[in-house]
Amino acid sequence: MLKKDRAQVIVKKLNKLYPETTAPLKSKSNFQFLVAVLLSAQCTDERVNRITPKLFSLANTPDKMMKLRVKQIYDIIRPCGLAPQKSKSIHKLSKIIMDKYNGKIPRNIEELEKLPGVGHKTASVVISKCFNVPAFPVDTHIHRLAQRWGLSKGKNVAQTERDLKKIFPESSWNKLHLQIIFYGREFCSARGCDGTKCDICKVCYPNRRRGIKTNKA
């Protein structure tokens, strides 16, 4: 099966399983979503969703957040992991958003990436969700599945992102990246499948008998 044929099979399967996609992180504003995505680094979405209500009850805007002490932020987000750096980043980016962007998060991915604690993946997730700008944020789930499905041999998430953007039409990126994440968590997890067990892996490579080793992101 050619790569383009595998891509069509994958999209058809994912559209059937996940006809609607909603970002799993809960928020009530673009600023809150940015903070939630930042917190989700090396932390589960479920844990972030348990923690953010308490944080946003104290400060739900950048103006209010910048007026908190860093320790106040840290004490709340500590269960998320990497809390010392994350609490400093949230405090700093809140001040920058107020001072430079009049209290609104920037719509430009390059400007978002300049904010403390905001890397390319976080910025991509934010512009996709908040502004409906086509983006293809690649996390470990997508990186792993892209290799299992023969869509990329990328040695890092940046290379995998470039490969996937060449395969799939831009109009599908915002929905598709979430669909792949959902599928990876439910059917093709790091331990639950090795490239030979889940439905998509078996359809894409029916003759594959040995599991494949994924290049680490």
Query: CA angle, 74 as apex, 27 and 47 as ends, to 5°?
Result: 45
The dihedral through the CA atoms of 195, 201, 204, 207 has a sign that is positive
**Amino acid type, 211:** G
- Whether 121 is catalytic is yes
Choose, from 86, 121, 129, 163, the residue flagged as catalytic: 121
Among candidate residues 139, 163, 197, 199, the one labeled active-site is: 139
Residue 170 vs residues 108, 164, 200, 217: alpha-carbon distances, Å: 17, 10, 22, 23
Element (DSSP H or E) covering residue 142 = helix 140-148
Q: Are 174 and 134 in contact (CB under 8 A)?
A: yes
CA distance 110 to 124: 10
Residue 186 to residues 102, 114, 192, Cα–Cα distance (Å): 41, 34, 9
How many beta carbons lie within 10 A of that of residue 215, not counting itself? 15
Q: Is 129 noted as a catalytic residue in this protein?
A: no
- DSSP class per residue in 22-37: --SS--SSHHHHHHHH
DSSP assigned state of 80: G
Residues 180, 184, 187, 190: what is their CA dihedral angle, to the nearest 10 degrees?
160
Residues annotated as part of the active site = 121, 139
